[in-house]
Amino acid sequence: MPFFLWFDWTWLILIPAFIITIWAQAKVSSAYKKYSEIPAQSGVTGREFAQTMLRQNNIDGVRVQAVEGQMTDHFDPRNNTVSLSEGVYAKHSVAAVSIAAHECGHVLQRFKKYGPMRVRNAIVPVVNIATSLAFPLILIGLLFRENMGVLVDIGAWVYFAVVIFQLVTLPVEFNASKRAMANIQASGVLTLQEQGEAKRMLNAAAMTYVAAMLASFLSFLRLFLLSRRR
């Protein structure tokens, strides 16, 4: 019974990933809520600091814009746009300055040709294809194991591209936060106490990427074990 393989003991492998993912999301949500309510004494908004940080690093041609949603902040290297969420763009909280600085940290990575970011950007198309193909291949392999079981093997290793992507993402995100804090400290936009709060905010956000990497690895491990049981 092929579908039985989807409900056997290997599901237990995913429990740690589930727990740490829930914990990381709760941690970053709590930190965001807390530090969004603490105003930066400088009165500088997320948008203003993003523009200042880019200017101080002699970076031109990057647009800072508002985007709907909460914690939807991101840098799009395809059009050199930093998008800041509603709670960051026009707010002058510790969280707003921290998040804006982090996204601009990605801009610095792009313009300074930071290696891991270049690798991550290069493998994005491969990862998108892998994500689309992995589970259909595995499902077909499980349904027709006698004739097409090899597809389970192929699907498992195709999914490994997701693990590689998450692994490469870790240094990219940690480095962006490091650059963010360096620029925050150099600019004096936050007080010493606020800088400590900003660091805690960024550390909480970083844990979501650690959780994502763990989840993808454990998912691959489960798929690999399933493929070995053919």
The pLDDT tens digits for 151-190 are 878 888 888 999 999 999 999 999 999 999 999 999 999 9
**Which contiguous run of DSSP H or E holds residue 11?**
none
List the structure tokens of 163. 């693990």
| Cα–Cα distance measured from residue 185 to residue 100, given in angstroms and rounded to the nearest whole number | 14
pLDDT tens digits along 128-148: 888 888 878 877 777 776 555
Across the range 92-117, mean pLDDT stands at 96
The answer to which of 31-35, 58-62, 117-121, 157-161 has the lowest mean pLDDT is 157-161
Q: Edge-to-edge, what's the strand order for the sheet holding 74-76?
A: 63-67, 81-85, 74-76
pLDDT of residue 172: 97
CB 147 within 8 A of CB 185: no
- Does position 78 have pLDDT exceeding 80, yes or no? yes
pLDDT of residue 2: 46
Return the DSSP state at 92. -
- Does position 118 have pLDDT exceeding 80, yes or no? yes
pLDDT of residue 226: 77
Q: How confident is the model at residue 4 (pLDDT cuts 50, 70, 90)?
A: very low
Residue 76 φ/ψ, nearest 5 degrees: -105, 105
Tell me the pLDDT of the chain averaged across its residues. 90
Catalytic residue numbers read 103
Q: How confident is the model at residue 1 (pLDDT cuts 50, 70, 90)?
A: very low
CB 81 within 8 A of CB 106: no
Sign of CA dihedral 16, 17, 23, 24: positive
The answer to which of 26-35, 90-99, 153-162 has the lowest mean pLDDT is 153-162
